[in-house]
Amino acid sequence: MVLRAGENVEGLLVILSGRVRIAAHRNNDEIVVHGPGAFLGELAHLSGRPSLVDGLALDDIEAILIPPARLRDVMVAEADIGERIMRALILRRVRLIEQQVGGPVIVGRADNRDVLRLEGFLARNGHPHQRLDPDEDSCAKTLIERFHVSPAELPIVVCTNGEMLRNPSENALARCIGLTHAVDATKLYDTAIVGAGPAGLAAAVYAASEGLSVIVIDCRAFGGQAGASARIENYLGFPTGISGLALMARAFNQAQKFGAEIVIPEEVHQIDADDGDAKAFGLRLRSGQSIRTRSVVIASGAEYRRLDVPNLAEYEGAHVHYWASPLEARLCTGQEVVLVGAGNSAGQGAVYLSGFASKVWLLCRGKSLDATMSRYLCDRIAAQPNIEVLPQTEVSTLEGCDGALEHVTWVSANRPGPVRRDVRHVFLFIGATPNSGWLERCGVARDTKGFVLAEALAAENRYPFETNRRGVFSVGDVRAGSVKRVAAAVGEGSQVVSALHAWLADIRAASETEPSAAGQDGHG
């Protein structure tokens, strides 16, 4: 065995002689046989994470082992070779995802809210997986009987290393599949970026490519709200459009290519002064770990705004959704759905769902979509025969039984009386609030709505995007005054790197001019 699924890879192997058979771990189905001149690896080999497949030497082999750090050096130093390697690593991962090869097996019904939660977590992190329905699949029934799993304990997850989890949290699942790793508490980073959305990933790519040591922390997945967008058509350079997940996955892989360390899922809950260095920060993580860094970039984005309906929580996760991905589209195929919102995200979601649902009721509070939605989306919605726009309309009640939504009622200023429809799925695209609650204990100034103050401080001898705490910066949707667009967030993430360089140069200069402790007490 050259590779074993579930075990950390030592690096990419370039075969000089011999052959290696790559096969699925679960059923030993052959994927490919690599011979002399080929290399073994996919995206796991870029970061040293566990292999998703098995690799069996068919002959005596001779190969060159390139550890992850040296592989990244090769891709940066040799642009043409680096492009070919990166393209191959990405395409191989895409193939594993499409063919559901490698990764954990989730056993549970497709419409179970915890199944959706776990599948969504893996999909948003670009990790292959397979789902088995215990009502239909004999293998799933065998697993349940073998491990004596009661219906209340579903879903179960069987990880690649053989470990079985009963309805795990996302953090527990991430640990089981090797997605997370321990942070080096002794290392002092140049910058720590909180949030792996467009702004955070842009800052990571530019900072790492310019030689800074970078660590990125996100509590759920890379991409932020942009990663949940069905299709982005007005982003520069993509005339035919691109899904938010595909765009953010490229940025995620690009950041790794330049050596940025990415920790997902993990959550920062405190920014302290570093105990051993007055010019550094200590970031406390929910897991109990800590990160030492010279600067901090707050790019924690925004949280989805919730509908003001009393029993909303009963249906969230299984019947009330905040994004429209293939997982949700699969659930509402051939059904009527309600989508609430009037911005570009709502328009993209409505158009996407119209390809699956029999009817999309698009509810908005305003008199029309024109004031809040791009013209091309308004035109496209008007052209879809199964999308009906209901202006000046709001959802009033959600009805169902045992957590299963059955009816939705809405009221409109344009017609008398409420309207009640048989609807099992509601999609909410009604804006967002800043994800800044975790900053309450950190001494970072925010406005009355919770957005981080940074822009107004530029005139007070602060660097661009710097907050009231020196060395702490803020970019993207969480910053007061920012433009809530993907391109704007990417722009801010790239711009803040210049401010980071200036801040780091200042503290280095200050350290060089400070007298040593020995000089101060006369023993220098």
State pLDDT tens for residues 130-184.
999 999 999 899 989 988 999 889 999 999 988 999 999 999 999 999 999 899 9
Q: Tell me, what's the pLDDT at 518?
A: 44
Q: Per-residue pLDDT for the chain (524 aa), expressed as one digit of tens each?
A: 999 999 999 999 999 999 999 999 988 999 999 999 999 999 999 999 999 999 999 999 999 999 999 999 999 999 999 999 999 999 999 999 999 999 999 999 999 999 999 999 999 999 999 999 999 999 899 989 988 999 889 999 999 988 999 999 999 999 999 999 899 999 999 999 999 999 999 999 999 999 999 999 999 999 999 998 888 998 999 999 999 999 999 999 999 999 999 999 999 999 998 877 888 999 999 999 999 999 999 999 999 999 999 999 999 999 999 999 999 999 999 999 999 999 999 999 999 999 999 999 999 999 999 999 999 999 999 999 999 999 999 999 999 999 999 999 999 998 889 999 999 999 999 988 999 999 999 999 999 999 999 976 655 778 999 999 999 999 999 999 999 899 999 999 999 999 999 999 999 998 887 765 444 444 43
Which CATH number do you get for residue 233?
3.50.50.60
Give the closest residue to 310 by CA, choosing from 392, 391, 399, 393.
399
Q: How far is CA 499 from CA 186, 320, 332, in A?
A: 25, 41, 47
Task: Give the ranges where 33-169 is alpha helix by DSSP (H).
Answer: 44-47, 68-77, 79-98, 113-124, 138-146
Are residues 69 and 212 located together in one domain of the fold? no
Are residues 423 and 440 located together in one domain of the fold? no
Question: Domain span at residue 459?
Answer: 188-303+436-513
Is 89 contained in some domain?
Answer: yes
pLDDT tens string 236-259? 999 999 999 999 999 999 999 999
Are residues 247 and 344 located together in one domain of the fold? no
Are residues 94 and 119 located together in one domain of the fold? no
Collapsing DSSP states into helix, strand and coil, what is residue 293?
strand
Domain boundary pick from 124, 154, 176: 176
Q: What CA–CA distance (Å, rounded) separates 157 from 415?
A: 49
Are residues 79 and 131 located together in one domain of the fold? no
Is 122 contained in some domain?
Answer: yes
